[in-house]
Amino acid sequence: MAPADLSLHDRFGAIHRRRLMIISAMVLALFLSLGLDLAAGPAGIDIGDIVGGILDPQSLALRYRIILWEVRLPDALIALAVGAALGLAGIETQTILDNPLASPFTLGVSSAAVLGASLAIVLVPVLPFLPEAAILPVMALLFALGSGILILLIVRWSGGARETVVLFGIALVFLCNALTAGLQYLASAEAVQQIVFWTIGNLTRAGWLEVGLVTACFMIILPFSLRQVWIMTLLRGGEAHARSMGINVARLRMWVILRISVLAAFAVCFVGAIGFIGLVGPHIARLLLGEDHRLLVPGSAICGALILSLASFLSKALVPGVIIPVGILTAVVGVPVFLGLLAGRRKTI
Amino acid sequence: MTIFSATGISASYGRTRILHDVDLPELHDDEVLGLLGPNASGKSTLMRCLTGEKTHHGRIVLDGSDRDEMDVSAWHRRVATMPQTPPNPSVLMPTELMWSTARALDLDFSDRELADRIEDIFNRLGLDEFALSPLHVLSGGKRQLVGLALALLRDPDVLLLDEPTSALDLHWRMVVLDLVRERLTERGGVVIAALHDLDLAARYCDRIVLLEAGQIVASGTPGEVLTPDNLARVYHVETSVSRDEQGQPVVQVIRPIRSGKQVAR
């Protein structure tokens, strides 16, 4: 390739088209992974029956129809929705705080959710009139949103200084962890076991309602993120330049952190604290797609969904008849992919 | 025809007053104003007031319109700043940074026009070979040039440069300031530059304002402002000032002035 005689318009266009191809391949991989995830499980339904059963539920035997529609589809779809929400929240956190180590979890959102869930687990046996199935996600959601409000207050108070936001987020993580530990210290052995199980993260609790809520949250927030892709891209050039162009970075930071908090709160409240995706999903997307947020924002959501979907497949396929909690597997799937991409990138430089 | 004025500018950080009622000379088309002064003299704060980033008292008027009454985006389309810090060394490509800036500011270019404009600016600044490289492979000086390219993208009537040459070597310092001068001759407009280098200021500026502790010490042509007395007062250095063939002052710094009073300051 001798690009010197081509105009910048053509060369930049070629890069953009190559990235569009990559993102199309990622979407394709997502569909494949969804198929694998739906086909995995002890009931032994083959992939043809699954496709047929989705297109025409009546074609399946009742037993298989229930397994597909009531168990596997909600589990597989919540993996996509939660993964996409965490991937989107992750890229927005890293860009708005200009910090590659930041993720929704470093802001304390998930630790607060764990604290809320733990409180629910400990309180339910004491207050038997509370409906157990509903109180746990509701408490997790309320605490997660509460931590988001605290962070927003800090952003306002500090005038949007990003170091203060990161430091406060980490302090909040420690505080929530300490309070959760205190609860575990007081709780019964059974409750402690439940808390630990919730903390690991597990997709099998989700039904259609949960799928709908997380998907709706993602779909409502995504257009706001997409509207700001140009500003987010130029923000990667540094805050000083954005400010000198008349962009109110402090106000932008408020809005973005509000979006991140809501996304992360809805993502973790039903399935538990599935970490890692919000951190590494954006990095994988960045290695594949570069910094142009037009593609990086949707790409990061796709990456998050793909990692969690593959982890969900593995959680059923690794040990036949056993479902390993998916939170254990996200890092196991994500780290090799990430390291592979990093190694590939080193060779090309 | 561009006329720019800034009068009665005062600004504080918390309770610390940084600028005290600063009046800049009224600037007309083709004029370059240099802001000089030691560290902490208020140059950067004054620049940030002029861009509109920092809240302040005083009036800033462009072609008869008060900035407080102008639409923010209209202001930023006519007035562009090159901040002191160069763009971050990220994986972002200079072209992507320029492109997203143009789109975020709603500049009225088609894709083709925008690409051609970016290419033209990069060619002038010697950045063409880095247009599609990640910013982190560029030297600090090259990134500073990307910062200038970003300001030029809007083709502003007023160009504010905050220490535009601090990371540049001798060659690029002159290339940048020549380019800024050429641009004024081609299309008009005014330039305000905060500078550290006295000789560059003498060579490229039509007027100079010398600041100390947030107040104007001297204002006028380079020959009027860059005198041994003024420089001794503001920079605490002993200098000898001669004239070059064009009659512009050439400053030679001899030694720092050490007196008990000044060391304590």
Selecting from A9, A230, A246 the residue whose C-beta is nearest the C-beta of B76 gives A246
Cβ–Cβ pairs < 8 A, chains A and B: 101
| Banded pLDDT at A76 (limits 50, 70, 90) | very high
Tokens at A7, concatenated: 């105009």
Instruction: Inform me whether the pLDDT recorded for B263 exceeds 50.
Output: no
Mean pLDDT of B21-35: 92
CA distance B99 to B121: 13
Mean pLDDT of B82-97: 92
Contact: A292, B132; criterion CB under 8 Å? no
The answer for residues whose C-beta is within 8 angstroms of residue A222's C-beta and 6 or more apart is A88, A298, A301
pLDDT tens sequence across A297-306: 999 999 999 9
Instruction: Inform me whether the pLDDT recorded for B260 exceeds 70.
Output: no
Contact: A236, B75; criterion CB under 8 Å? no
Residue of A144, A145, A165, A143 whose CA lies nearest to A154: A165
Task: Compute CA distances B206 → A141, B30, B176, B188, B221, whole Å.
Answer: 63, 9, 17, 14, 6
The answer for residues whose C-beta is within 8 angstroms of residue A202's C-beta and 6 or more apart is A271, A272, A325, A326, A327
Instruction: Inform me whether the pLDDT recorded for A2 exceeds 70.
Output: no
- CB-based contact, A247 to chain B, within 8 Å: yes
Give alpha helix (H) positions in chain A: 8-39, 47-55, 62-66, 73-96, 109-126, 132-157, 162-186, 189-200, 208-227, 229-235, 239-244, 249-271, 277-289, 293-317, 326-348
With pLDDT > 70 as the criterion, what percentage of chain B qualifies? 97
Distance in Å, alpha carbon of A100 to nearest chain B alpha carbon: 11
pLDDT tens sequence across A264-308: 999 988 888 887 899 889 999 999 999 999 999 999 999 999 999
Contact: B112, A12; criterion CB under 8 Å? no
Contact: B115, A286; criterion CB under 8 Å? no
Instruction: Inform me whether the pLDDT recorded for B57 exceeds 60.
Output: yes
- Chain B residues with CB inside 8 Å of A290's CB? 91-93, 96
Predicted structure pTM score = 0.90
Mean pLDDT of B6-16: 89
| Banded pLDDT at A349 (limits 50, 70, 90) | very low
pLDDT tens sequence across A30-61: 999 999 999 888 777 888 888 888 888 888 88
Distance in Å, alpha carbon of B77 to nearest chain A alpha carbon: 9
Confidence (pLDDT) at A281: 92
Torsion angle of C-alpha atoms B251, B255, B261, B263, degrees rounded to 10: 110
- Chain B residues with CB inside 8 Å of A12's CB? 95, 99, 115, 131-132
Any idea which of A326-340, B27-41, B90-104, B135-149 has the lowest mean pLDDT?
A326-340
- Chain A residues with CB inside 8 Å of B135's CB? 237
Selecting from B72, B83, B93 the residue whose C-beta is nearest the C-beta of A240 gives B83
Confidence (pLDDT) at A4: 56
Domain membership of residue B40 as a residue range:
3-264
Which of B49, B67, B70, B97 to probe the A interface (max A CBs under 10 A)?
A: B97
- Chain A residues with CB inside 8 Å of B86's CB? 238
CATH of the domain at B256: 3.40.50.300
Selecting from B52, B91, B111 the residue whose C-beta is nearest the C-beta of A246 gives B52
Contact: B88, A290; criterion CB under 8 Å? no
Task: Compute CA distances B75 → A243, A303, B157, B261, whole Å.
Answer: 13, 40, 10, 44
Residues 82-141 of A with CB under 8 A from B: 98
- Domains in chain A, CATH or no CATH each: 76-348 (1.10.3470.10)
Mean pLDDT of B185-192: 92
CA distance A178 to B38: 50
| Banded pLDDT at B221 (limits 50, 70, 90) | very high
* β-pair type (B65-66, B57-62): antiparallel
Contact: B119, A9; criterion CB under 8 Å? yes
Which of A5, A19, A241, A288 to probe the B interface (max B CBs under 10 A)?
A: A241
pLDDT tens sequence across A85-130: 999 999 999 999 988 888 888 888 889 999 998 998 888 777 766 6
Average pLDDT for chain B: 90
Give DSSP secondary structure letters for chain B: --EEEEEEEEEEETTEEEEEEE-PPPEETT-EEEEE--TTSSHHHHHHHHHTSS--EEEEEETTEEGGGS-HHHHHHHEEEE-SSPPP-SS--HHHHHHHHHHHTT----HHHHHHHHHHHHHHTT-GGGTTS-GGGS-HHHHHHHHHHHHHHT--SEEEEESTTTT--HHHHHHHHHHHHHHHHHH--EEEEE-S-HHHHHHH-SEEEEEETTEEEEEE-HHHH--HHHHHHHH-EEEEEEE-TTS-EEEEEEEE---HHHHH-
pLDDT tens sequence across A166-208: 899 999 999 999 999 999 998 888 888 888 888 888 888 788 9
Residue indicated by tokens 């530990």: A181
Contact: A234, B101; criterion CB under 8 Å? yes
CA distance A159 to A115: 28
- Which chain B residues touch A if contact means CB-CB below 8 Å? 51-53, 72-73, 75-76, 80-88, 90-93, 95-97, 99-101, 103-105, 111-112, 115-116, 118-119, 122, 131-132, 135, 147, 150-151
| Residue B79 CA to its chain's centroid (Å) | 12
Nearest Cα residue in chain B from A227: B104
Selecting from B73, B91, B95 the residue whose C-beta is nearest the C-beta of A12 gives B95
Query: Domain total for chain B?
Result: 1
Torsion angle of C-alpha atoms B21, B24, B25, B30, degrees rounded to 10: -170
CA distance A8 to B116: 7
Mean pLDDT of B221-241: 91
Confidence (pLDDT) at A73: 92
- Chain B residues with CB inside 8 Å of A284's CB? none
Confidence (pLDDT) at A155: 85
With pLDDT > 90 as the criterion, what percentage of chain A qualifies? 48
| Banded pLDDT at A346 (limits 50, 70, 90) | low
* β-pair type (B215-220, B207-212): antiparallel
- CB-based contact, A49 to chain B, within 8 Å: no
pLDDT tens sequence across A214-244: 999 999 999 999 999 999 999 999 998 999 8
Q: What is the SS3 assignment for A143? A: helix
CA distance A62 to A41: 17
